[in-house]
Structure 1
Amino acid sequence: MAATIRKRTTGKLDKFGNPVISYQVRWREPVRDEFGAPTGTFKQTSETFPTERKAKAHLRKVEDQLESAAGVDPSSQKAKANRPLGKYAKQYLESLAGTIDDSTIAGYENIYRTHIASVFGSKPVASMTTADVTAFRAQLLAPHHRRSFVTRGKPQPKPHPSTRVVTRSPATVKQIVGTLKRILDTAQDDQAIQSNPVVSGRRRTTKRRATGETPFSHHPLTANQVASVADWIANTKGNQVYALAVLFAAHTGVRAAELQGLQVQDLTLSDISGTVGAIRVARTAKRETGRWTYGTPKSDASTNRTVPLAPWLADELRDYLTTVHPFAGRHLHAPLFPGRLSRSSFDWAHPVVADNLYDNYLQPATKALGLGAVRFHDLRHTFATMNLSAGEHYMQVSKWLGHSSFVLTLTTYADYIREDVLAVPKVGRGTVTPATDNVVTMQRTAT
């Protein structure tokens, strides 16, 4: 099965009228069955090169592969190397089925189609280099023209030509490059490439901001500000139900999709006023293309977690279920907070849409009260900061938030963990035990 080089004279002529010489590398490799096992027979394979140097380099590569125990035939290796990235992107996305939520897979597919496919989709994976990835990352970080799209259900007005240039956030670029890396990991696992060009061995960072730009920071509210927002929604907008929904989100720390997935059965309330309640976070709900899809929370730590409800909040929820919610006592699977059919009526069969709650109630309330730009996710930060500032242990807050690790809670909310509250040590000084004298005095007696 040793490879050989055959010198051939082609029918072409160079610029001096001399016949063009080519060099053909020839070798025999085993024929394999449908399971990839050798059948005992061999097939003749060849590849032609314009120079003897390139032919000899390929010959050494072929012989190394034939002698190795990897079982990869040179011809199949070449076929894999020439396979476009789009093939491995499809293979990667298909491999995720059943391991993560369908919505997450759809998000990865959207990232690939939007940012990666046009640049690398038809490019052979073996031809991609670290320099290509570096240029791609730089292109993502560079200012670009804003694309026309719809966000939060509201069409964005066409920007003025002078303000159409925008810059992607470092987090967005990191997510795009991370998706590309995982696709190339699939190609590397298939032995199409020797190493992943995204991993160059040099540490890189995309943490930067434009000159004069204020760094991003969370915007948590205080308990008084949350109460003012809820009061504005209840009285100015005339919506007591959504005022309670905002109050509930700020004092439980649930994510938007978790709020949409809550049902009446998830509440645990006592019949006695002034007692603590609880909410169980077991599912998420997302509306995609006009239909609702249900899944599990973001991490294992988020699934089936229980968050306590303050007595005053438990009392308001009990009154809400008793006097307002039409299905509280009949259908335990009914949404805890309803969607909207119109400006004047609720859709009790479908859950509240967090985007609608934000656009039409929370955002107008914070602007009217002069609280600045508050995102819906800031209600979750509000819950964390209020409890940490009140002296609650960060590990307990981390469990209520459903964080995947305590380190995430420490990293995000380190500034809100109180250091002025000193815990009383539970270890006493100890009692003194007198030393025992082990020496026995011996007295001589007269005989």
Structure 2
Amino acid sequence: MCGLEFSVPSSKPETPVSTVSDGARRQEPRPERRDRTRAPKPIGLKGWLDTQTLKVKQGRMKQRTVGDYERLLKHDVLPTFGGMAVAAITPRLCEEFLTNLVARPSRQNCGEQLSPASVKHVWTVLRRVLKCAVQHGALDANPCDRVDFQTNRATGDRESFEHHPLTAAQVGALSAAVAGEVGDLPAYPIYALMVEFLAYSGLRAAENTGLEVGDLEFTTGPGQTRCTVHVTRTKERRNKEWQVGTTKSKKSRRSVPLPPWLAAKLWTYLAEVHPNAADLTAPLWPSRKNGGGFRAKGARYAVPHDWTQPLAMGTFYDTIMKPALVAVGLPASAPATRHRPAQRGVRLHDLRHTFATMQLSAGMHFMQVSKWLGHSTFTLTLDTYGDWVPTEDGGALNNLPAPTYAATADVQPANVTPLFGG
């Protein structure tokens, strides 16, 4: 990665040397001898990214965050500042960059402007790069600090994002469609079980991808099987390689119990279907093999599974879950194109919202639901699912008593002064 390269200016003056010419002694500057072991090297974007990678090794930052920084630098910052010396970046240029960024259409939602969160992320990356330049002496001050930009959002009529939690009947219909029982969709019974698992466990997509066989703890009793899911890691595909990451927060490392009927299905899945169930480090859910041979245009068929690597959840949504949503009459999220606006429908993450709303509607206390979801605070759970909190737990039921009123006979006129302090 090139561009925005800066180096620390040397403050050591040239050492004069005495020379004699035509009988006169004069001082001439002697070229400074460069010490290659101590000479400062240029510090550019690559160097800044290396410092972020160091934070990952120290446990202060997630590898995913570094990948996001690199992506934002490549697509948003370098097109403007890539061929410019860092010392030439002024507050005015930063302000113009911010103005253009706010007005620029999104690459994913054609015709729509970048969301305030996306603008904030790009601006934060630029500000941190220039802060690094200040720390290394290439700049006296960060030009971004002189730009009036507030990260908090203003209140107004901006349309808020709406969740699309499913009902139990809709989860069943979606699972049947993924299993190939609706229309001419290819049959993926394993992924149908995964849809039910996500809707009744509340795991995030990266947490589900990170699950291994050993993360399921089964206990069997008379006529009943119990299962607890231990969430300890995440997995994401970066640069064609699977990277193991930490959970979103410390409280995201949690154990989630499953209903008995789902525990029984998972027990049968590992006992009769999963070929690597004896390997506790094997991915719980398989991926799909690439290719699959010739097929007629428009024809659909089930691609064989690849049990050696986990499932990419984004690809699963686009290729399997989205057609299943359409088949059962549910809206599927889709980015805007030149011919139609963006459609806000059921996302993969809405299966997590489904778990939360079904638990709260069934009377489960919101604090317990918050623990199962792995939320960092109970307040986050209330802010997100306050409309589903039962009335006995502080939900929307207004039974405030009437105010008390003083007796009118005891009220003294304003122009009367009590003699004995009444």
Query: Does TM, normalized by the shorter one, top 0.5?
Result: yes
SS of 1:269 mapped into structure 2 = strand
Structure 1 residue aligned with 2:202, among 243, 253, 260? 253
- Structure 1 residue identity aligned to 2:219: S
Which digits, 9 at most, give the CA deviation of each residue in 1:54-87, with x for residues without a partner?
xxxxxxxxxxxxxxxxxxxxxxxxx99xx88747
SS of 1:271 mapped into structure 2 = strand
Unaligned 5+ residue runs, structure 1?
Answer: 1-28, 32-41, 46-78, 148-162, 424-447
CA, structure 1 residues 337+164, in 2 after alignment: closer, same or farther (shift >3 Å)?
closer
Distance 2:328 2:155 in 1: 29
How much has 1:253 moved relative to structure 2? Answer: 1.6
Distance 2:324 2:169 in 1: 14
Q: Quote the residue 1:264 is aligned against.
A: 213
Q: Quote the residue 2:169 is aligned against.
A: 224
Q: Quote the residue 1:339 is aligned against.
A: 287
1:243-392 equivalence runs, <5 A: 243-272=192-221, 273-303=223-253, 305-328=254-277, 330-341=278-289, 342=292, 343-372=302-331, 373-392=345-364
Distance 1:103 1:381 in 2: 23
Does the 8 Å CA contact 1:170/1:208 hold for their aligned counterparts?
A: no
Larger radius of gyration: 1
Higher relative contact order (CA 8 A, sep 6+): 2
Distance 1:422 1:107 in 2: 39
* 2:76 equivalent to 1:115: yes
Distance 2:202 2:313 in 1: 14
SS of 1:358 mapped into structure 2 = helix
How much has 1:112 moved relative to structure 2? Answer: 0.9
Does the 8 Å CA contact 1:384/1:397 hold for their aligned counterparts?
A: yes
1:40-439 equivalence runs, <5 A: 86=45, 89-90=48-49, 92-98=51-57, 99=59, 100-125=61-86, 127-144=88-105, 146=107, 165-190=111-136, 192-193=138-139, 195-200=141-146, 204-205=150-151, 207=153, 215-234=160-179, 235-236=181-182, 237-272=186-221, 273-303=223-253, 305-328=254-277, 330-341=278-289, 342=292, 343-372=302-331, 373-421=345-393
How much has 1:317 moved relative to structure 2? Answer: 0.9
CA, structure 1 residues 392+122, in 2 after alignment: closer, same or farther (shift >3 Å)?
farther
Distance 2:308 2:62 in 1: 24
Distance 1:129 1:414 in 2: 46
After TM superposition, the structure 1 stretch with the greater mean CA deviation from structure 2, 268-277 or 202-211, is: 202-211
How much has 1:270 moved relative to structure 2? Answer: 1.7
Which digits, 9 at most, give the CA deviation of each residue in 1:313-347, with x for residues without a partner?
1111112112222222x212221111123535222
Distance 2:325 2:232 in 1: 30
Instruction: List, as ranges, runs of 4+ consecutive aligned residues in structure 1 with deviation greater than 6 Å.
Output: 208-211
Does the 8 Å CA contact 2:252/2:376 hold for their aligned counterparts?
A: yes
Unaligned 5+ residue runs, structure 2?
Answer: 1-9, 17-38, 293-301, 332-344, 396-422
- Structure 2 residue identity aligned to 1:402: G
CA, structure 1 residues 223+141, in 2 after alignment: closer, same or farther (shift >3 Å)?
same
Does the 8 Å CA contact 2:131/2:142 hold for their aligned counterparts?
A: yes
Distance 1:316 1:87 in 2: 49
After TM superposition, the structure 1 stretch with the greater mean CA deviation from structure 2, 397-406 or 249-258, is: 397-406
CA, structure 1 residues 131+291, in 2 after alignment: closer, same or farther (shift >3 Å)?
same
SS of 1:292 mapped into structure 2 = strand
CA, structure 1 residues 115+247, in 2 after alignment: closer, same or farther (shift >3 Å)?
same
Does the 8 Å CA contact 1:339/1:351 hold for their aligned counterparts?
A: yes
Instruction: Quote the RMSD (CA, aligned, Å).
Output: 3.4
Count of paired positions: 332
TM-score in terms of structure 2 length: 0.68
What is the aligned-residue identity percentage? Answer: 39
